[in-house]
Every structure is written in C-alpha cells, then in structure tokens.
Amino acid sequence: MWQKNSIISIISTFNKVVVELGMGDGQLLSNIIEHEKNPNTCYVGIEIDPIQIQESRNKLRRENVFLINESFEQVLSYFPHNYVDHFIFVLPPPCYIDKSMEKQWIILYQNIFMKLKQKGIFTIVTEVINDLLEPVTDNEVKSCVEWLGSSFAALGFKIKDIFEDSPNYYSSHFLEQFGGDQLRIRLITLILVKPGPKLI
Ligand SMILES: C[S@@+](CC[C@H](N)C(=O)[O-])C[C@H]1O[C@@H](n2cnc3c(N)ncnc32)[C@H](O)[C@@H]1O
C-alpha cells in the first residue's frame, strides 16, 4: 500500500498532476495519456475495486502513472490544498451525483475544490436517465444541467463549459456501454474551473 508521504514526494517531482477518480479498468486514463503525450505530467488513478485496479495496472505501466487501490476520499486527504491541476470523474456512482443524495456527496466536491490549484480544472461526465427508463427528453437534460451547474457554482466553481455527450477523445468501459442506449441514457459533461486570484 502507498504511504501518504511517499506518494506526495514522488508526485511533486512532476510539472503537472492529473487525477482520475473511480478509474475502473484504466481504459480512459490510457486514452488521456495517449492524447496528451506529456511525460512531465503525473497521472494518478484511484479505484477502490481491487480487480479493476489490477486491470488498470496491466494496461498502464509507465513511470509517470500511479494507480492507487483506496477510496478517493482517503487519497484526497493525502494531497495538499491547491495541488492538483485536473480532476477527472467519469460516470460517478449515483451516491456521488444523484440529486436525492446531494447532502452526502457535496463533501467530496468541497474537498476536490480545496485540492485543486487555482485555475485548475474539474471534468465530470455524468448520465441523465429518468425513473421509468424511458427516452430522456430535452427538458430533462436541461433541468439536470441547470441543477448541476447551480450546485457546483454554489461550491465556488466557475462553469467553463457544459455540453451534451463526453469529450471526443474520452472512451471507457461504461461510456461504451451507455453509448449503446443513447435515447434512454444521455450524457452531459461539465468543465469546471477553480477561479484564480482576484486582481485588484
Ligand atoms: C460507474 S463506474 C465508472 C468507471 C469508469 N470511470 C468508466 O467510465 O468506465 C464507477 C467506478 O467508481 C469506483 N468507485 C466507487 N466508489 C469509489 C470510491 N469511494 N473510491 C474509489 N473508487 C470508487 C467503482 O469501483 C467503479 O469502478
């Protein structure tokens, strides 16, 4: 198991830190690394399921990749404040994004806000579905976008962009699975920024 101090001392030797929460089998992180082609960036993947993390480790053997088999709540506590350049969370489980559970999950996002650098980015991709699993209407997407936008703005994030679908170079096990039912599962992406210092 990684020790807090050893993680931070290694990660701190890189120019930039990108952290994926709930990375699953590592497909997405592998694509992002290929896309960004930046050996000076450190990529940290966090996944609580030991089988998934093993699959990730089989895919991602590089000096600038650190895969941690712990809860992201635990790993977040290792990072200093204002430290991470980019957090990525693709398809958070319902207990981290459902409207009915907002009181529970808000704490995670408050922590993410604290750990992000000023001007750091938080990318979330989530799905819009309805209770009856019927085709999702434009109005349902619109009201989800408005609610998520206002929830994250209330935490201090600036909304850089919100769009339907996922970023075009993102692919993951669950994105592919959900992509097979685009009428009943519509994806939205939020690109959030931690504001920089106010200029006087
Ligand atoms: C819906 S899956 C998405 C996986 C991956 N992002 C993808 O798009 O294929 C959510 C993932 O989050 C992981 N997870 C759930 N709670 C977690 C926690 N507290 N800490 C770390 N990982 C967690 C699950 O084990 C699962 O792999």
Q: Let me know if residue 28 belongs to a domain.
A: yes
Q: Let me know if residue 181 belongs to a domain.
A: yes
Q: Let me know if residue 162 belongs to a domain.
A: yes
Instruction: Give the domain range for residue 90.
Output: 4-193
Q: Let me know if residue 64 belongs to a domain.
A: yes
Q: Let me know if residue 199 belongs to a domain.
A: no
Query: How far, in Å, CA of 16 to CA of 38, rounded?
Result: 9
Residue position matching structure tokens 């679908």: 165
Provide the number of structural domains found in the chain.
Answer: 1
Q: For ligand 1, pick from 27, 49, 127 the residue to mutate: most ligand atoms within 8 Å of CB.
A: 49
Kindly indicate the confidence band of residue 1, based on its pLDDT and cuts at 50, 70 and 90: low
Kindly indicate the confidence band of residue 130, based on its pLDDT and cuts at 50, 70 and 90: very high
Q: In CATH, what number is assigned to the domain containing residue 160?
A: 3.40.50.150
Q: What is the pLDDT of residues 184-194, one digit of tens each?
A: 999 999 999 99
Q: What's the pTM?
A: 0.96
Q: Let me know if residue 105 belongs to a domain.
A: yes
Q: What is the pLDDT of residues 63-72, one digit of tens each?
A: 999 999 999 9
Q: Let me know if residue 170 belongs to a domain.
A: yes
Q: Quick one: pLDDT at residue 131?
A: 87
Q: Let me know if residue 198 belongs to a domain.
A: no
Ligand 1: nearest atom to the Cα of 71: 20
Ligand 1: nearest atom to the Cα of 90: 6
Q: What is the pLDDT of residues 75-118, one digit of tens each?
A: 999 999 999 999 999 999 999 999 999 999 999 999 999 999 99
Residue located nearest, by CA, to atom 11 of ligand 1 = 22
Instruction: Ligand 1: list residues with CB < 6 Å.
Output: 22-24, 28, 46-49, 52, 71-73, 90-91, 93, 172-175
